[in-house]
C-alpha cells in the first residue's frame, strides 16, 4: 500500500530527475509510459490507462457525481416528491435517473431549489455522456499494428559484404500500404574534445520501403566502410551501449489510417556469423507456403572471424 501511495504522489508532483537505466544491453527510461504518472493530464491518462483502470475511473466518477447531487437534494427536505424523508438511497437513485435523463415519473422535483439542482445535473449529464462517448471512441478507434519482429538480428555475408539482417511479419493477414522502415543505431561516443554524447546514426537499408507489406519482409543493412557497425564486435557494442531501433510505418488498408510499430535490438540480440532460418517452402503439388514456426530461428555459419571489417 505504501508503494502505491508513493507512485501516486510521484505522478502528482513534477520530478526534476529522470532515471536512465541500462540493463542487459537495453537502454530505457524508468517509468516512461507509466499511466500513473499522468494525473495532471487526465485526457492522456484516460487514453493510456488499461481498460480495467478506465472502467474503474469512469465508475468512480459516476458514483461520486451521483452521491454529490444526492447530498445536494437532501439539503432541502421534501424537495423531491415520493421520497422518504432523509433517505439517501432515494436521493441517490433520483440523481441517477436525472443524470441519465431517464425520468420514470415517480420521483420529481417540486421546489425551485430542487429544479435548479436538476437543471445543473441534467447539463452535467449531457456533458458527461458526450465526454465518455468521445473517450471510448478514441480508445477504440486508435490504429494499432500487429507487426512481428524477429527476436534475433543476424550478421552474415551477402553479395560478399557482411550484412545486418532481421525480418518482420504482418500478423493481421491484410496489407500495410506504402510501408516504410527506418533503422537507427544509438551509441555513446566521445568527441575529440572529450565530450561524451549519445549519438544517432541512420542505418542505410538495401530496401527501406515497399508498396504492399503483406506477409514477411527481410531488412538488410550492408556493413561497409561507411556503416557505423564497421569493425565492431559484440564486446564493442556492449561497451558503447549500442541500441538498434527499427521503426515501421504504413497505412492499414482496413482502417485506412497510419500505423506504427517499433522494435529494439540490444547487442546480445545480434548474432554474428548466423543466418535466419528459411521460412518459405514448396510442396510437391507446386504450392508455396510460409512456416512461421521458424520465424525467430537463426543458424550458425562456419566462419572463423566474429569481427566485421
Q: Kindly indicate the confidence band of residue 144, based on its pLDDT and cuts at 50, 70 and 90.
A: confident
Residue 26: per-residue pLDDT:
59
Q: Mean of the pLDDT values across residues 73-77?
A: 92
Mean pLDDT of 39-58: 83
Q: Which of 1-5, 44-48, 99-103, 161-165 has the highest mean pLDDT?
A: 161-165
Mean pLDDT of 42-67: 88
How confident is the model at residue 1, as a pLDDT?
47
Q: Give the highest mean pLDDT range of 14-28, 35-49, 177-191.
A: 177-191
> Residue 248 pLDDT more than 90?
yes
Name the phi and psi angles at 187, rounded to 5. Answer: -155, 165
| Cell matching residue 103 | 425520468
- Residue 66 confidence (pLDDT) above 80: yes
Which pLDDT band, with edges at 50, 70 and 90, does 305 fall under? Answer: very low
Residue 2, pLDDT above cutoff 80: no
pLDDT band at 31 (very low <50, low <70, confident <90, very high): low
Q: What is the rounded distance in angstroms from the CA atom of residue 92 to the CA atom of residue 202? A: 61
Kindly state the helix (H) or strand (E) to which residue 73 belongs, with its residue range. Answer: helix 51-74
CA dihedral defined by 6, 8, 11, 12, rounded to 10 degrees?
Answer: -100
Task: Average the pLDDT over 173-187 and give the result.
Answer: 91
Instruction: Give the pLDDT mean for 64-84.
Output: 92
Q: pLDDT (tens digit, 9 = 90+) per residue, 272-303?
A: 999 998 888 887 787 888 888 889 999 998 75
CA distance to 130, 142, 145, per residue, from 135 (Å): 9, 11, 20
Write down all domains in the chain, each with its CATH number in brackets. Answer: 41-141 (1.10.287.70), 147-300 (2.60.40.1400)
R_g of the chain, CA atoms, integer Å: 29
The DSSP letter of residue 80 is: B
The pLDDT value given to residue 194: 80
Average pLDDT of the residues of the chain: 84
Counted residue by residue, the chain has a size of 309
Percentage of the chain modeled with pLDDT above 70 = 85
Rounded average pLDDT over 176-198: 88
Which range is least confidently modeled, 12-26, 158-172, 244-258? 12-26
What pLDDT score was predicted for residue 22?
Answer: 58
Which of the 8 DSSP states describes residue 189? Answer: E
* Average pLDDT rounded to a whole number, residues 210-221: 90
Contact (CB, 8 A) for 62 and 121: no
The residue ranges of DSSP E strands in the chain, in sequence order, are 20-23, 26-29, 147-149, 153-158, 161-170, 176-190, 196-202, 209-213, 216-222, 243-252, 257-265, 270-272, 274-276, 280-282, 288-290, 298-300
Q: What percent of the chain has pLDDT over 90?
A: 45
Supply the pLDDT for residue 21: 56
State the pLDDT confidence band at 29, using cuts at 50, 70 and 90: low
**Do the beta carbons of residue 229 and residue 223 sit within 8 Å?**
yes
On the question of pLDDT at 14 being above 70, the answer is: no
112, pLDDT greater than 70: yes
Amino acid at each position: 500500500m505504501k508503494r502505491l501511495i508513493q507512485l501516486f504522489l510521484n505522478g502528482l508532483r513534477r520530478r526534476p530527475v529522470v532515471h536512465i537505466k541500462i540493463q542487459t544491453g537495453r537502454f530505457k527510461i524508468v517509468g516512461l509510459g507509466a499511466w500513473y504518472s499522468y494525473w495532471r493530464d487526465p485526457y492522456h491518462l484516460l487514453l493510456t490507462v488499461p481498460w480495467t483502470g478506465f472502467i474503474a475511473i469512469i465508475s468512480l466518477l459516476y458514483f461520486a457525481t451521483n452521491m454529490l447531487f444526492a447530498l445536494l437534494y437532501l439539503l432541502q427536505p421534501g424537495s423531491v416528491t415520493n421520497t422518504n424523508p432523509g433517505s439517501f438511497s432515494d436521493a441517490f437513485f433520483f440523481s441517477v435517473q436525472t443524470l441519465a435523463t431517464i425520468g420514470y415519473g415517480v420521483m420529481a422535483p417540486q421546489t425551485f431549489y430542487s429544479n435548479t439542482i436538476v437543471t445543473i445535473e441534467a447539463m452535467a449529464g449531457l456533458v458527461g455522456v458526450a465526454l465518455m462517448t468521445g473517450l471510448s471512441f478514441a480508445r477504440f478507434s486508435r490504429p494499432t499494428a500487429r507487426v512481428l519482429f524477429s527476436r534475433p538480428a543476424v550478421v552474415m555475408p551477402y553479395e560478399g559484404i557482411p550484412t545486418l539482417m532481421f525480418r518482420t511479419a504482418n500478423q493481421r493477414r491484410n496489407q500495410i500500404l506504402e510501408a516504410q522502415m527506418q533503422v537507427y543505431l544509438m551509441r555513446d561516443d566521445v568527441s575529440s574534445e572529450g565530450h561524451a554524447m549519445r549519438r544517432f546514426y541512420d542505418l542505410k537499408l538495401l530496401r527501406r520501403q515497399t508498396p504492399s507489406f503483406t506477409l514477411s519482409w527481410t531488412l538488410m543493412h550492408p556493413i561497409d566502410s561507411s556503416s557505423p557497425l564497421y569493425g565492431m564486435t559484440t564486446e564493442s557494442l556492449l561497451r558503447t551501449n549500442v541500441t538498434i531501433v527499427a521503426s515501421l510505418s504504413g497505412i492499414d488498408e482496413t482502417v485506412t489510417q497510419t500505423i506504427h510499430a517499433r522494435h529494439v535490438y540490444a547487442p546480445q540480440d545480434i548474432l554474428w556469423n548466423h543466418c535466419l532460418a528459411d521460412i518459405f517452402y514448396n510442396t510437391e503439388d507446386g504450392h508455396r507456403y510460409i512456416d512461421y514456426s521458424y520465424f525467430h530461428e537463426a543458424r550458425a555459419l562456419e566462419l572463423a572471424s566474429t569481427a566485421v571489417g
